[in-house]
Homo-oligomer: A and B are copies of this chain.
């Protein structure tokens, strides 16, 4: 009882500490710290008069994954990693934070979205914003000039979250990149092949992969009369065309970015063009655009790319689209982005005869994107040695959202474990016998559970199986033990049969082997 009085005294003192800090307008952090101590004292008293004051939530823009969501996530990852491995990729991992300066100057206007760590002494650190910059740092640091690798990990952006549409502040990226000095467009085409495979296998409905080239954009800006120092900022504006109508984008170019109306209108003509190999050929003969060496280099590569894409049998979904810009600073060549389109939407195929925009196409958001970045690794090299790279990042969160909605709509139950059998009994005092049996099963590699009760009711054991989708039950009773058998019950059919202990493992394997 002395204890209690002591704590009550401590609560009083701590309450004063908090009041004083508040009066003195101390930092919120300091106040929170002391309030937490106070609450803890109160909790330790056990007299919590009903309410603790904890805020029970995850950080803004983040979420937990429950077991059902994890089961779906695992399925999606397996499909994606399956494709990456089929194409011979290795995998690496990098720390979740990097030296702040490693990220500095890589993301253009988006740098403000980087999460910094508090300066607690020592190095200044930031959470990674993507997996590409850490990859480039890794290559330069280890002097690696050739690698094909994938990396699946979370990245962090202090963006305005729109979680219902799959936009988070903490989210997974699944990146596949090919680094090395190779012949033109072969690795680039493989990246697109992989996007095609993954989106097809995930069965998310129809999709389209837009392709463009930074050099074509630059050439287009040059021949349309954009001053060179405005290329990047005008490019950012063009990038908004997937969300805004041309009129708005034009307004931003002219009013905010100070572009002439004539230049904007010329850009407007080009960025409305979509097609395939044919469009690249036509533009190579375009009087204005062919003046730019950059544009011609880009167009020649687009032509070669489509030749390889035809062999890879993916041109039905790939569109050369001059409005595709992509925000990041580091791209130097081919860029691409995959969007899901609603079912039944007419799509301009790569072989399409004209560049008209697809009718009724509804942009439900980008699910993959990437491109060539030949300069990024050199930014980390003390001698500026370049390692050409091309890669793609799968935007997995949107895909999770869609898969989750699908799972919810479907009648099929998502299993969250792979348990094959529950070891159960109808009678009392058989816990030790059940533990003996389950030890045998575990030893044989069987996935098995037993209820953590000495004497659970048979009904509650069977209900647990229904709930978790466990297909089999091994029922032990005095008689079974005497006879050296187990009653094996199939949960779905309720059929039961006695089976000798020595045959049990084989029978479980037979009944639960995946077809």
Segment of A47-55, A294-302, A331-339, A404-412 in the binding face: A47-55
Give the shortest distance, in Å, between A473 (CB) and chain B (any CB): 13
Q: Contacts of A48 on B, CB cut-off 8 Å? A: 383-384
**CB atoms of B382 and A454 under 8 A apart:** no
**CB atoms of B86 and A442 under 8 A apart:** yes
Interface positions, chain A 427-472, Cβ under 8 Å from B, are 431-432, 435-436, 439, 442, 445-450, 452-454, 468
Q: Contacts of A432 on B, CB cut-off 8 Å? A: 307, 311
Segment of A120-128, A263-271, A353-361 in the binding face: A120-128
Q: Is A514 an interface residue (CB 8 A)?
A: no
Copies of this protein in the complex: 2
Q: Is A262 an interface residue (CB 8 A)?
A: no
In the complex, how many residues of chain A place their beta carbon closer than 8 angstroms to a beta carbon of chain B?
115
Interface 0/1 of A1-35, CB less than 8 Å to B: 00100100000000000000000000011001100
A2 to B, closest residue via Cβ: B228
**CB atoms of B43 and A101 under 8 A apart:** yes
Docked Cα-Cα span, A124 to B28, in Å, equals 9
Q: Is A36 an interface residue (CB 8 A)?
A: yes
Q: Is A37 an interface residue (CB 8 A)?
A: yes
Q: Contacts of A452 on B, CB cut-off 8 Å? A: 178, 180, 182-183, 186-187, 190
Give the shortest distance, in Å, between A199 (CB) and chain B (any CB): 15
In-complex Cβ contact of A54 among B86, B311, B380 (8 A)? B380
Give the shortest distance, in Å, between A208 (CB) and chain B (any CB): 21
Interface 0/1 of A311-335, CB less than 8 Å to B: 1110000000000000000000000
Docked Cα-Cα span, A101 to B52, in Å, equals 12
**CB atoms of A170 and B124 under 8 A apart:** no
Give the shortest distance, in Å, between A230 (CB) and chain B (any CB): 13
**CB atoms of A120 and B115 under 8 A apart:** yes
Segment of A58-66, A342-350, A502-510 in the binding face: A58-66
Q: Contacts of A98 on B, CB cut-off 8 Å? A: 58-59
Q: 29 A-B Cβ contacts within 8 A?
A: A6-B229, A32-B101, A36-B105, A54-B380, A54-B382, A57-B99, A59-B95, A64-B138, A64-B141, A64-B142, A66-B92, A67-B90, A67-B149, A70-B90, A70-B92, A85-B447, A86-B442, A86-B446, A88-B419, A90-B416, A96-B154, A116-B117, A117-B118, A118-B119, A178-B452, A180-B452, A186-B431, A311-B432, A312-B435
